[in-house]
Amino acid sequence: METHFEAININEASLPERTAKQISKLIMEQHLTSEDRLPSEFELAELLNVGRGTIREGVKLLVARNVLEVRRGKGTYITQNPGEIPDPLGFTYCPDQLRLAMDLLEIRAQMEPWVAKTAAERATEDNLKALRETCAMVEQDILNEQDHSQSDVRYHTAIATCTQNLVVPKLIPIITHAIKLFVSLTERRLKMETLVGHREILDAICSKDGERAANAMGQHIEYNRVMLEEYRREPPGGE
């Protein structure tokens, strides 16, 4: 199918913006991937019939949006996940981070049991291998008393990958964004539960038991919610 979504331009009028759009189109049409070097400024300028300065501005926009990356001494390349940026929903700018964490947990409670169930039903052997590995990474981080927020997000994303749905692995890192805040708020109390909870979810998915995976995930998130609720009522050291 040839149809593509039309990207909505932030600033329809500007020349660098239109150039960025044309370069994006080129990337899509030629199916360029992270292995591919972008054609040179000179070639692009010829091809798109604009000046090299404009090409440079357009490229900068696409770098800022994580479509392109400059590899020192090697040239400009397509990124691994073009267009995906850290914190795409601007959570950094949300003034009430505790409420944000609660609202994210509400969504996780809705989504993730289904994700776990679907993962159990559809996971391939390769998926399960990756899942076991990320589960072990979280355990190692916790046992070494290291920050496990990143490996934790990776574990939940590995579960998402088992669903074979293209979008779920992109959504999970967004809604598990709060784990980082969460880990620092509730600290030690949750670590044991995380170890046990993650293991139980892993076992259920590996034995292809969808119901049990959904229940284990539901409990894991509910426990997190209760902990955060407690924190909200009585922050350590009083108000």
Residues that bind a copy of itself (CB under 8 A): 1, 3-11, 24, 27-28, 31, 60-61, 63-67, 69, 81-100, 103-104, 106-107, 110-111, 114, 165-168, 170-171, 174-175, 177, 180-181, 184-185
Q: How far is the CB of 80 from a copy of itself (least distance, A)?
A: 11
Q: How far is the CB of 42 from a copy of itself (least distance, A)?
A: 23
Return the structure tokens found at 110.
């809705």
* Cα–Cα distance, 147 to 79 (Å, whole number): 27
Can you list the alpha helix ranges (DSSP code H) found in 30-124?
41-48, 52-64, 97-122
> Which amino acid, one-letter code, is at 56?
R
Per DSSP, 37 falls in state B
Select from 176, 198, 186 the least CA-distant residue to 226. 186
Q: How far is the CB of 166 from a copy of itself (least distance, A)?
A: 5
- For a copy of itself, give the closer residue by CB, 81 or 143: 81
Q: How far is the CB of 164 from a copy of itself (least distance, A)?
A: 9
* Cα–Cα distance, 198 to 112 (Å, whole number): 13
Q: How far is the CB of 122 from a copy of itself (least distance, A)?
A: 11
Which residue reads 């900068």 in tokens? Answer: 60
- For a copy of itself, give the closer residue by CB, 98 or 195: 98
Q: How far is the CB of 95 from a copy of itself (least distance, A)?
A: 7
Return the structure tokens found at 186.
């509730």
Which residue reads 């360029």 in tokens? Answer: 32
- For a copy of itself, give the closer residue by CB, 35 or 96: 96
* Cα–Cα distance, 64 to 70 (Å, whole number): 11
- For a copy of itself, give the closer residue by CB, 61 or 131: 61
* Cα–Cα distance, 5 to 19 (Å, whole number): 17
- For a copy of itself, give the closer residue by CB, 73 or 86: 86
- For a copy of itself, give the closer residue by CB, 15 or 143: 15
Q: How far is the CB of 225 from a copy of itself (least distance, A)?
A: 13
* Cα–Cα distance, 142 to 138 (Å, whole number): 6
Which residue reads 């030690």 in tokens? Answer: 188
- For a copy of itself, give the closer residue by CB, 21 or 132: 21
Instruction: Estimate to the nearest angstrom the gap between the alpha carbon of 37 and the chain centroid.
Output: 25
